[in-house]
Amino acid sequence: MSAVTVSVLDLAPVQDGADAGAALRATTRFAQYAEELGVHRFWVAEHHNMPGIASAAPAVVLAHLAASTTRIRVGSGGVMLPNHAPLVVAEQFGTLESLHPGRIDLGIGRAPGTDPGTARALRRHADGLGADAFPRELGALIGFFRGTDPDGIVASPGRGAEPEVWLLGSSGYSAQVAAVLGLPFAFAHHIAPDNTAAALALYRDNFRPSPTLSEPYTIVAASAICADTDAAADRLAAPRDLAFAQLRAGRPQALATPEQAAAFPGSEAERRFAAQRKAGQLQGSPATVRAQAAELLAATAPDELMLNTLVYDLEARCRSLALTREALDG
């Protein structure tokens, strides 16, 4: 298996019986451990109205993570642009880039990162859901960094302090926008694995060189849970499977313990859903993960593989990352 750059996507999971402070402290320790392992990037995702996720404010979390590490790139995976004014995002990430030059990534998404009711509460104006709103506001955001706002508004900090801008997606739409703008593209394989190959092909086939990127550059984000045995990895994955089943049912909860998840009387439909989510991801012993990763990398050929390890215990999360790195290097 050819070497691939490894990065991490973290959701700052809130454990059952704990609080957001504990989750964010764990994410900080996880970022520090990822840096020790030589991981390239550490991203956090924006989600709202979800009691099991503490990363609702990525810019705030990233300020702490960047200050708590020294070398690893930190970024958003992503900031959901329809929820924010482009000028505010430019100022926030311009501030981060000014404080930590060369270490900040701004991953941009177009989904709300939440349920429809919360999305309505987050949107700033009535046309936030319009088909043309996202590319228009993405262009405005990039313009603030590059000093090309047509109204002459200056993002300060922001102008001249441009982080590495990425476009995130789980469909062909974002792939095509990233290609036209000449931006690097990160695909959410852990969310929409059936769309991965087609979206990456669209991106690569339509890519136009830009001032910041001369050739296509891709990340594939995959769920990754590795333990000593397949059975142990499945046990660690049970809280994640339960969390997604609860979210799908409209009842998001804090992350259950493996024991609570194992005791949950899931329906046949929920078991099928969990099996579908596992397909195409990385889950099992090091040998199993090595084989799964070889298949995924051969099918998608990404420049980076981004690992999302949603498990209850921080120690198990760190060990899973270490085992996965070893499997990828083996």
pLDDT at 268: 74
Peptide bond into 101 cis (omega under 30): no
pLDDT at 240: 94
Which secondary-structure segment (H or E) carries 187?
strand 185-188
- Rounded CA gap, 74 and 89, in Å? 16
pLDDT at 259: 93
- Rounded CA gap, 295 and 305, in Å? 13
Enter the pTM of the model.
Answer: 0.93
pLDDT in tens, the chain (330 residues): 557 999 999 999 999 999 999 999 999 999 999 999 999 999 999 999 889 999 999 999 999 999 999 999 999 998 999 899 999 999 999 999 999 999 999 999 987 666 667 667 676 555 544 556 888 999 999 999 999 887 889 999 999 999 999 999 999 999 999 999 999 999 999 999 999 999 999 999 999 999 989 999 999 999 999 999 999 999 999 999 999 888 888 888 999 999 999 887 767 776 676 677 778 899 999 999 999 999 999 999 999 999 999 999 999 999 999 999 999 987
For the chain, the first-to-last Cα distance in angstroms comes to 8
Task: Parse the chain into domains and list their residue ranges.
Answer: 5-226+282-329
CA 292 to centroid of chain Cα atoms:
20
CATH number of 5-226+282-329: 3.20.20.30
- Rounded CA gap, 136 and 122, in Å? 18
